Every structure is written in structure tokens, then in C-alpha cells.
Amino acid sequence: MAKNINQAVGLTSYFITLPPARYLMLGIVLLGLVFGFLIDSSHYGQSDFIQRALLDGLMLLSIPALLSTFVVKLMSMKMPFRRIAATALGGEFVYAIAYSFSLLMSGVNPFWGQLVLLVGAALVFVFWYVIARFIFIFKYRSILFAILQLLFYLVFLLSNQAMTAPPGQFIDIAFRYYISAFILLISLVIFFTIINAPMKKNLGVSSTDAASFFFSQWLYHNKDMERALEQVGEPAKTIVHLMGFKRENDTVYFVTPYVHYGPFGNLGGSEFSSLIAKEMMSVYKSESFIFHGTVTHDLNPVSSSEMAKVMGAIDSMIKGAKFDDAKVSLSAGIHEECKAQALVINDSALVGLSRAPLVTEDINFGLGLAMMSEAEKSVKNAMIVDQHNAETGEITSFDPGSVVGFNYMEAIKDSLAKSEAKKPLKLGIASRISSSPMIGGGGIKVAVFSCAPEYVVVLIDSNGVTPELRDKVESSVKAIGKSLKRDFAVGVFTTDTHQTNIVRGVVNPLKDEEDILESIKGAVKEAAADMKSARFFSGKSWFDINVLGARQSIEIISTVNSIVAVAKITLPLIIIGAIITLLAVLTRI
């Protein structure tokens, strides 16, 4: 399963971030000029060499590419200009190669030279169609854009002094170009039909529609994919755990909904870590810390509207909440590489789990329930939290029966077996909103508890954190404690939000950035100064929710990998068949 996940996730490594539009426009012009000077190099030294080279380069490549860019932009004002310019530059590059090979082949056989040019033009036609269909998300206009750009190149090719068509033959030549383009387009449709079959059969959604939904969300933050996720989702029952701290003038909540904050962007539960906190502030006027429970992608909510079910369970607990005087202690347990920090408050405990500096990744919900059961042999309510605070790039999860799962269980048992001195409960909090694209809307939150040593919870709404940054956070917080003549123990937590997943890859841990570290240090000082007595409440509630599900998660990943495997074989064969067909057709017209 881990191998399949790595293969599927590896597809995102092909994504790139485009340079600014001005650089792309400059590239369009420069590519044409370089091409012009190369194809006219035999005329070097003649009086009109520069004029001829500039004219050929601009007429054959740059001007049609620029025209395509501006016309498509006028027809779709909402489309980012640099994406259109990048498409035009990519098509221009293919034309440059085709023109170059065409000139070389024409010296051997004029027909072969023309064939190379027609194949090149057809490839660019298909290139424009695919980009417009899946990146620009134009289902029908994609054909129009492909037709227009081919027309621009054809007009400027035939009007160029070096390649003038005989009078009255423009329509005949244009016919050859479009016939070539549509032969390749039909081949592409056949290819789509082949790769659509596995996903349509297994999940009820075609591969091309799924790809369109994916790019629509990733690039434009649309939620069309949620419709597909709802079709393949399944009902599940899970838990939300709540801790409340009522201070003199406010109430602070720790919330752990046992759902995964994915799959990515703004789909499903990806933004739950920040949306739940905002809803808690809106409804209850309370600052909330939203933690990452012991769950994997199996429990990704199918849509953002599923958050209402989480809030319903929270609301029922808050309505029945009874806050009591409380005492707090902190104890740590360790077994092999697994560590547990247990913040015990009255008969409840917040238990944070980590393997840092080794990879600390998602924990299967079944294993999490076993951990909860183990912890609740010692306390009445146990909020088990995956600290998710050591991202090493390894994509994995920990399941029942694993050695890591056993080690975690032993660490939890060890942490709760210790009887540390309890102190009257005091709590200080602070928060920071970050402009970093690696931190979600939940920002950075810090809580300081009055146990001995005082426990500093640093919660970051990010998709993980590198071991190096985690170590820096710990050492910085402890240094602040020494400067205040206080003894600090530190727990670094992340939400594992997939809201922050960026275009290149899906593992995006927070790295060492000075401004982020300074924000954390500032929040720690503020929280340390905010210490106030608090009364305490704890509860947990089961609720129903629609999620992607274990079976469907495996099905999707396996289907994606199957499609890629089939495509690697069928696409080259279809292209070869299309070129053979193209050759046969062109010899008869």
C-alpha cells in the first residue's frame, strides 16, 4: 500500500510553478529571433541577413504565438495571463523543432519535409486542446482555441517570404493541416476512452472528468471534485474529543475531531483545522486549539459541509458541560523510539505522541482507539493526539499490529503510570496569524499550563514540520523559560492540514524560517504572561460522517496507478498508429 501511495503521489512531482508573465512573453520573442538567425545562418554576411532573420523568426514563430496569447486572453478574461503565455511558448517551441526538421528533410524529400511540418502542427493542436481542456477547464472552447492558434501559424507560415504558397492553394494547404490535426485529436479521444474505463467502472467517474476536477480545485480552488467524492464516499462513525478551560473572562477549548484534514486544498476536510476554530469563535466566542487525531486518509470527509456534523457533536457536549476546579500534572513516557507526553487534568488526559526525529506520521483510527482504550485504564477520558511533528519525506502510516503501534501503546502506558505532583490549573494562551503559504488559516497557537515543569503547547496549522525546525522551537521555548526563571517542557504539534498542499508534491512540512520562529517565540512570551486560573471540563462524543473510506482510498490509489501503467503502453502505440494513419491519408490527398 505504501508503495502504491508513493507512486500515485509521485505524479505531482511533474507540476511546476510558472515564471512571471513578462519573462514568458520575452521568451516567446527571443525564441523566434534565435530561430530566425539559425535558419538563415547560411545567409550570414549578406546585407539583408539581419532583416531576413528577424522577419523569418517573428513571422514564423513569435507573432503567431503572441496573437494566440492575446486572442485567448480576450476570449477568457478570467484566465491567468501567464498560463496562456506558457502554453503559447510551449507550442512555439514544438513548432520551432518541426520547422527545423522540416527544412532539413526537405533537402532529401519535399514530401517528408511537409509531413514533419504537418505532424508538428498537429502535435501543437493537440497540446493546446489538452491544456485548454484540463488546465484552463474549457470543455468545449478548448477545440476553438486549438483551431485558432493553428490558423494563426498557418497564415503567417504561408505569408512569409521564404514559404509563400502558390495562389489559390491556401485552402488546400489549410485542409491538410486540419486533417492532420483532427487525426491526432481522434487518436487522443481513443486514448481517453481507454483510460476512462477503469475509473468509470470502479468509481463511477471518468478519468478525464476526475483530472478536470482535480486541476479545477488545485489551480482555481473550485469544489467540483467534491461531487465526485460524495459519489464514492461511505458513512462512518467517529469521535470528537473536547476539553474546556473556563477562565475569569473567557473559555478556551481543545478540540480533536477524529477525522483527517484532507485530501487537499479546500476539498473535503482540508480546512477543518481552521474552519472549526473560526466557527468556535463565531458561535461560542472562544479561542480553540484544533489538534490532529489518530486518523489517516481513510477518514477524509467527502465535503466541507460535513463540518456541520462535527460542530453538532461539539455543541451537544458544550450544552451539557460542567466545569470543575482542577489540578494538572505532566508526565512523559518512552518505549523504543516512541514518546508520549501526558498532560493529566483531574481524571482526563491529553496524550501527545511523537517519534521525532524519526518520521511521525498518521496513525490508523483502529490503532488510535486501542491507544485510547489503553489510556482510559488510567484516566476517565483520554484525548490521544498525533503530534505529527517530524516530517522526513517518507509517506507512511502506522496500523494495528505494527511494531510502531506496539511501541506507542507502551509509551502511553509508561506516561500514565507515573504519579507526578499536581498543581492548581492555570492556563495562558496566545495566537499569531502567519502570511506564510506553509501555514493554514489556523495560524500559530500557544498554550502554557501550570504543571511542574510548565507545559508549553505549540500548535501550528501546517502539513507537518521538519525535525530541524521542531528542535529549534523546543530549544527556543526552553531558553525563554530560563530567561523568565521558569522551567518549560515543550510539546510541538501540527494539524497536518492539507489546505497548505502546494503545486509541487504533497509533502509540505514547515521548514526553518526566521519569521515563523520569531512569531512562535513572541506567542510563547505572551502566553506565559497570560496565566490565569481555570476550571475544567472534558468529554467525547461519537457522531456519523461521510468519508472517503479505507476501501475507496485503496481503490482510488490502485486505479490511478493502473491508469498510469496502461497509459505508458497505449499512448505510444496510439501515437505511432496516428502517424501511420496520417501518412496514409496525406499520400492520397
3-state secondary structure 485-547: CCCEEEEEEECCCCCCCCCCCCCCCECCCHHHHHHHHHHHHHHHCCCEECEEEEEEEEEEEEE
pLDDT of 549 higher than 80:
no
Greater confidence, 345 or 178? 345
Cβ contact 117:98 at 8 Å: yes
- Average pLDDT estimate for 399-406: 94
Helices 2-10 and 550-586, axial angle in degrees (round to 10): 40
Q: Residue 233 class from Cβ within 10 Å (0-12 exposed, 13-18 middle, 19+ buried)?
A: buried
How high is the pLDDT of residue 505?
Answer: 52
Best CA proximity match to 189, nearest among 254, 136, 142, 242: 142
What pLDDT, on a 0 to 100 scale, did the predictor assign at position 1?
43
Distance CA 317, CA 313 (A): 7
> Is the pTM higher than 0.85?
no
Residue 550, pLDDT score: 61
Averaged over 26-30, what is the pLDDT? 95
Kindly report, residue by residue over 435-445, the tens digit of the pLDDT: 888 899 999 99
371-394 average pLDDT score: 94
Q: E strands of 179-310, at which residues?
A: 234-246, 251-257, 287-290
What confidence category does residue 5 fall into, taking pLDDT thresholds of 50, 70 and 90?
A: very low
In the prediction, which pLDDT does 487 show?
96
The pLDDT of residue 32: 92
Where are the chain's structural domains? 20-161, 165-233+552-589, 234-548
pLDDT given for residue 589 in this prediction? 67
For the cut 50, the answer to whether the pLDDT of residue 266 exceeds it is yes
- Tell me, rounded to whole angstroms, the distance of Cα 409 from its chain centroid: 32
Q: What is the pLDDT of residue 206?
A: 73
User: What nine digits make up the cell of 241?
Assistant: 474529543
Q: What is the pLDDT of residue 53?
A: 83
Higher-confidence position of 487 and 191: 487
What is the SS3 assignment for 380?
Answer: coil
Mean pLDDT of 537-563: 77
- Max mean pLDDT range (103-107, 234-238, 527-531): 527-531
The DSSP call for residue 11 is G
Range with lowest mean pLDDT among 128-132, 219-223, 348-352, 392-396: 219-223
* pLDDT above 70 as % of the chain: 89
For the chain, give the mean pLDDT: 87
Say if residue 331's pLDDT is above 60. yes
Are 188 and 146 a contacting pair, CB within 8 Å? no
pLDDT at 136: 83
pLDDT of residue 162: 42
Question: Sign (positive/negative) of CA torsion 154, 156, 158, 163?
Answer: negative
Ramachandran area for residue 496 (φ above 0: left; ψ -120 to 50: alpha; else beta): left
pLDDT above 60 (res 396): yes
